[in-house]
């Protein structure tokens, strides 16, 4: 049992924004509102001045297990997710072995049941071994409980294979999540094609590398009627393509990451060497690359209009050895769970997004993408109690050495954020609690 009192209860998808209490019993939301009754023996959190919302749902993260445990484990990754306010995370299948069979899905589910502190929903591969050649046994993966299919980290390069996968996926009504990258065009590319790449003498990655695959897959989704979800959209052109497709009834959804909404390509440069020497910061190397302010403006417009459905972290932890090397050799990826909310709150305080849009893109909207809006991302009475309590005004500084994630690869180290997750509750249990929060027992 747990009672949260005095907070602002906020569930924008369901039109709830009111002061009141929330009572959790046997892991579920028992009642919500003002003047609700609960036993006086129930442990209590006073949420005065705080917001109580559905726990965040992340459609896109890398927990690295099995195979890359030096980067992250299901235990460490889900603890980091809890710090970030995420109560459900969908994990990508670019593990070793990749998640292309029932036995690996079952292994992840078992591992999660033993060590995860938030709900873990596995994503299965589109093609066997993520090799892009032969479509997986999707029926077997769906039966084992995957919530989507993806070869994330790579696109499916062959249009015929992708078309076949889309046809097949309709039987299960699960989305195909596509990492949109035309490899022959990005080959050897390190950061966005533009002035920063020119200045640093690096091969650039053009926006077209993303847009070519977005356009191809939208055409295939129109042809097959399959559910397509575009991962980590980063360019204005991709937003325009998706907008046009949605207007024409193509069954497509899309996500954007916090870093693509808040950082530009300039972040890769780092002038901190002291002698005015141009240096670079590999912690800002990510795929797709950080782009331009014009792209950010388009992504924000897309979010507000509903062209982009969800915000997803693409939490991609790497070891220091994989990052602290020449920029050309460094791994792509940002460890995102612990900075996602704080960085997004910067957009709120700058007046670039409103709280309702922000929270819906982190809760019911991602849940809808995987067809789970009735039980995830909601404060509905009877739903499992997956809840986050946050303070929009709390200021804090990012310190990667205190990350719970094994991946310290963040371009936000040292940044001050205004807005912090204070409590995360999964299935009725407190899995993260800021030092400033007290749970009172009678
Ligand atoms: O930067 C990235 N890192 N982008 C991806 O699509 C994959 C991810 C990873 O697995 O490290």
SS3 assignment for 271-312: CCCCCCCCEECHHHCCCCCCCCHHHHHHHHHHHHHCCCCEEC
The tally of domains found in the chain comes to 1
Residue 357 falls inside a structural domain: yes
- Is the C-beta atom of 90 inside 6 A of ligand 1? no
Residue 442 has pLDDT above 90, yes or no: no
Cα 94 to middle of ligand 1, angstroms: 9
Average of per-residue pLDDT across 295-307: 98
Cα 345 to middle of ligand 1, angstroms: 24
CA 373, 377, 379, 382 dihedral sign is positive
CATH classification of the domain holding 336: 3.20.20.140
Q: What is the pLDDT of residue 246?
A: 98
Dist CA 395 CA 275 (whole Å): 32
Q: What is the pLDDT of residue 279?
A: 81
Residue 277 has pLDDT above 80, yes or no: no
Q: Per-residue pLDDT tens for 374-431?
A: 999 999 999 999 999 999 999 999 999 999 999 999 999 999 999 999 999 999 999 9
- Is the C-beta atom of 335 inside 6 A of ligand 1? no
Residue 278 has pLDDT above 70, yes or no: no
Phi, psi of 220 (to 5 degrees): -70, -35
| pTM, full prediction | 0.97
- Would you please indicate which residues are annotated as catalytic (active-site) residues? 314
* Cβ–Cβ < 8 Å for 372, 386: no
Dist CA 189 CA 206 (whole Å): 9
Q: Per-residue pLDDT tens for 251-272?
A: 999 999 999 999 999 999 975 5
Give, as one character, the DSSP assignment of residue 158. -
Ligand 1 pocket mutation pick from 59, 60, 62, 255 by most atoms within 8 angstroms of CB: 62
Q: Angle CA(250)–CA(134)–CA(256) in degrees, nearest 5?
A: 40
**Type and span of the H or E element at 128:** none
Average of per-residue pLDDT across 158-181: 98
First-to-last alpha carbon distance for the chain, in angstroms, is 12
Residue 69 falls inside a structural domain: yes
H-type alpha helices, 32-126: 74-83, 102-115
Average of per-residue pLDDT across 171-194: 97
- Is the C-beta atom of 94 inside 6 A of ligand 1? yes
Beta bridge partners of 388: 53, 424
Dist CA 355 CA 361 (whole Å): 10
Residue 368 falls inside a structural domain: yes
Residue 149 has pLDDT above 70, yes or no: yes
Cα 201 to middle of ligand 1, angstroms: 23
The answer for residues whose C-beta is within 8 angstroms of residue 376's C-beta and 6 or more apart is 54, 57, 88, 119, 363, 364, 367, 386
Which residue bears the tokens 């980091």? 80
H-type alpha helices, 53-206: 74-83, 102-115, 138-144, 159-169, 183-186, 195-200
Q: What is the pLDDT of residue 55?
A: 98
Q: What is the pLDDT of residue 70?
A: 98
Residue 82 falls inside a structural domain: yes
Residue 359 falls inside a structural domain: yes
- The three-class DSSP label of residue 54 is strand
Q: What is the pLDDT of residue 181?
A: 98
Residue 34 has pLDDT above 90, yes or no: yes
Residue 128 falls inside a structural domain: yes
Residue 18 falls inside a structural domain: no
- The three-class DSSP label of residue 391 is strand
- Is the C-beta atom of 153 inside 6 A of ligand 1? yes
Give the residue numbers spanning the domain of 107.
55-377+406-411
- Is the C-beta atom of 332 inside 6 A of ligand 1? yes
Residue 12 falls inside a structural domain: no
- Is the C-beta atom of 8 inside 6 A of ligand 1? no
Cα 426 to middle of ligand 1, angstroms: 27
Residue 23 has pLDDT above 60, yes or no: yes
Q: What is the pLDDT of residue 270?
A: 75
Q: In this structure, which residue's CA is closest to atom 4 in ligand 1?
A: 287
Q: What percent of the chain has pLDDT over 90?
A: 96
- The three-class DSSP label of residue 190 is coil
Q: Per-residue pLDDT tens for 95-133?
A: 999 999 999 999 999 999 999 999 999 999 999 999 999
Ligand 1 pocket mutation pick from 63, 210, 331, 333 by most atoms within 8 angstroms of CB: 333
């Amino acid at each position: 049992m747990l009672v949260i009192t005095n907070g602002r209860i906020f569930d924008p998808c369901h039109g709830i924004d009111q002061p009141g209490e929330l009572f959790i019993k046997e892991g579920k939301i028992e009642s919500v509102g003002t003047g609700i009754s609960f036993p006086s023996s129930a442990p209590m959190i006073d949420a005065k001045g705080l917001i109580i919302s559905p726990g965040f749902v992340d459609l896109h993260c890398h927990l690295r297990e099995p195979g890359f445990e030096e980067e992250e484990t299901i235990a460490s990754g889900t603890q980091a997710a809890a710090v970030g306010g995420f109560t459900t995370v969908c994990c990508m299948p670019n593990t070793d072995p990749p998640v292309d069979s029932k036995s690996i899905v079952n292994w992840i589910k078992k591992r999660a049941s033993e060590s995860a502190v938030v709900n873990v929903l596995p994503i299965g591969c589109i093609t066997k071994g993520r090799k892009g050649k032969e479509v997986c046994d999707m029926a077997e993966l769906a039966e084992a409980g995957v919530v989507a299919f993806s070869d994330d980290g790579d696109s499916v390069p062959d249009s015929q294979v992708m078309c076949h996968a889309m046809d097949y996926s309709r039987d299960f009504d699960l989305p195909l999540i596509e990492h949109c990258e035309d490899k022959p065009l990005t080959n050897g590319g390190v950061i966005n094609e533009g002035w920063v790449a020119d200045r640093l003498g690096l091969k650039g990655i053009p926006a077209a590398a993303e847009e070519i695959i977005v356009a191809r897959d939208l055409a295939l989704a129109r042809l097959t009627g399959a559910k397509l979800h575009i991962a980590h959209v980063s360019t204005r052109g991709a937003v325009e393509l998706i907008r046009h497709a949605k207007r024409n009834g193509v069954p497509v959804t899309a996500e954007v990451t916090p870093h693509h909404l808040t950082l530009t390509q300039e972040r890769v440069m780092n002038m901190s060497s002291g002698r005015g020497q141009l240096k670079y910061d590999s912690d800002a190397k990510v795929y797709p690359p950080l782009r331009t302010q014009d792209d950010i403006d388009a992504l924000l417009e897309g979010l507000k209009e509903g062209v982009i459905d969800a915000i997803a972290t693409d939490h991609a932890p790497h070891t220091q050895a994989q990052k602290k090397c020449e920029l050309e050799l460094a791994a792509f990826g940002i460890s995102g769970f612990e900075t996602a909310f704080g960085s997004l709150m910067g957009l709120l305080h700058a007046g670039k997004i409103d709280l309702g849009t922000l929270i819906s893109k982190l809760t019911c909207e991602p849940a809808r993408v995987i067809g789970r809006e009735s039980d995830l991302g909601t404060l509905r009475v009877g739903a499992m109690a997956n809840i986050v309590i946050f303070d929009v005004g709390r200021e804090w500084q990012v310190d990667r050495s205190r990350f719970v994630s094994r991946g310290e690869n963040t371009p936000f180290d040292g940044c001050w954020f205004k807005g912090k997750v204070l409590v995360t509750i999964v299935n009725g249990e407190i899995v993260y609690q800021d030092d400033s929060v007290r749970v009172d027992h009678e």
